[in-house]
Amino acid sequence: MTPREIVSELDRYIIGQKDAKRMVAIAMRNRWRRSRVAPDLRDEIAPKNIIMMGPTGVGKTEIARRLANLAGAPFFKVEATKFTEVGYVGRDVESMVRDLMEIGINLVKKEETARVRTKAEYNTEEQLLNLLLPGKGNASFSAPQNGPAEAVNKDETREKLRTMLRQGKLDDRSVEVEVSVQGGPQIEMMAMPGMEDMGMQMRDMLGQFFPKKQKTRSMKVKDAYDIIIQQECERLIDMDKVVDIAKERVEQSGILFIDEIDKICGQDRKGGADVSREGVQRDLLPVVEGCVVNTKYGMIKTDHILFIAAGAFHMSKPADLVPELQGRFPLRVELRDLTKEDFLRILTEPRNALTVQYTALLETEGVEVSFGEDALEELAGYAERINQETENIGARRLYTLMEKVLADLSFDAPDQSGQKILIDAAYVRSKLEEVVEDRDLSRYIL
């Protein structure tokens, strides 16, 4: 996709923030450009990491998440405050690369599952027919004992059962299915704080010493179908191939989103918490610069992973980061506060707008809800006002306001099936005005 097409796609879900969208679109396009550069130069081109600055709820995380979806790339979001340097309680910084690799594995495995799904469905159908027909396995059909007539009869019976199976007429019939269960004792390990990843890897390694056992269970056909097709998909997928593809994808197109990076900035004080904050930054530095991280799937290079950091930076600024880390985030963009016009667009334009969501939810109860233009303007005005008077939480304020406005309707919806309800400005004011006018109430309720 060209940068213009990327921005256009982001516009379908995120309102405003043109500068941030352009910056991430260029970063994504540069990855495509790098893949077409001569191999001897390709490894020398490092990704241009980004810092996004702005209050919560203005679209920082959503921009990064949608970008990853567009690219089909492994994406992982982590809060910087979860990490601490060695000696303090917290997670190991390198664990975010391991988590990204797990996401890459799941992403590729899902694609491979879709690829082999048709064959897995056919094999599952055959297995269920073998279980439903007399005899065990294919033995009863492989060598008919009473001549061609019996073979034809069995084939006809099998095809009739196949039709009934596809129509769901055999869903409640019971069959005996072999399922895999973990052999040996269940291994539980208590990991030290900050070493949960090592504990999981040890548990996986020790679990391999006890091979899985087969156990026969009786269940309905519809339940057996789900279990057998899962087993067939796992059998048809080449996990070595999955790991190789996932590793390549993580190393060349993975995106790590580090939120709340401003919370690990120093505050020009010596000792205390600032020691830990600077320690986290120095632990982050080699991962962002490019290093090799050991995972249970092998060694992962972080040289070409794109890092996007974000923070409100109310009490600090990017210059408060250690100089070495600043240098690894050359691109910086500030996301602006949302205005009344932005809130109005957020309520109407995106494909997943809140008004669309609530209309669909209440429609399940048989209640047809519609929002008047004046009601949406009223909601947008309240959102801007409350953000200015209390904490600015951006578009997330709309969630609170919509819940408050529709609380009574959502509660009574089962008793109002078949009704059409118009939400207008007067309705919105009746639900919000009293709370908004009382500063203390609005602070705690809205």
pLDDT by residue, tens only, the chain of 446 residues = 889 999 998 988 888 888 999 998 998 888 889 889 888 888 888 888 999 998 888 888 888 888 888 888 899 988 888 876 544 555 678 889 999 999 999 999 999 999 998 898 888 888 888 888 765 444 333 444 555 555 566 678 888 888 888 888 888 888 887 777 655 555 555 555 445 555 556 666 555 555 667 778 788 888 888 888 888 888 889 999 999 999 999 999 899 999 888 888 866 555 455 557 788 888 889 999 889 999 889 999 999 999 999 988 888 888 888 888 888 999 999 888 889 999 999 998 888 889 999 999 999 999 999 999 999 999 999 999 888 888 888 888 899 899 999 998 999 989 988 899 999 999 999 888 877 777 677 777 76
Sequence-distant (6+) residues with CB within 8 A of 436 are 382, 385, 386, 442, 446
For residue 138, what pLDDT is reported?
41
- CA–CA separation, 15 and 340 (whole Å): 12
Closest CA to 264 of 276, 251, 250, 249: 276
- CA–CA separation, 293 and 302 (whole Å): 8
- CA–CA separation, 288 and 284 (whole Å): 6
Phi, psi (rounded to 5 degrees) for 195: -125, 30
For residue 108, what pLDDT is reported?
93
For residue 256, what pLDDT is reported?
92
H or E element: which one contains 293? strand 292-295
For residue 299, what pLDDT is reported?
92
For residue 91, what pLDDT is reported?
66
Q: How far is CA 246 from CA 28, 65, 95, 189, 307, in A?
A: 19, 18, 17, 28, 18
For residue 140, what pLDDT is reported?
37
For residue 197, what pLDDT is reported?
55
- Is the Cβ–Cβ distance between 344 and 371 less than 8 Å? no
For residue 104, what pLDDT is reported?
93
- CA–CA separation, 288 and 292 (whole Å): 11
Closest CA to 20 of 11, 12, 31: 11
H or E element: which one contains 136? none
For residue 437, what pLDDT is reported?
76
For 210-269, give the DSSP string: S--EEEEEEEEHHHHHHHHHHHHHHHHS-HHHHHHHHHHHHHHH-EEEEE-GGGGS--S-
Sequence-distant (6+) residues with CB within 8 A of 409 are 362, 367, 369, 416, 421
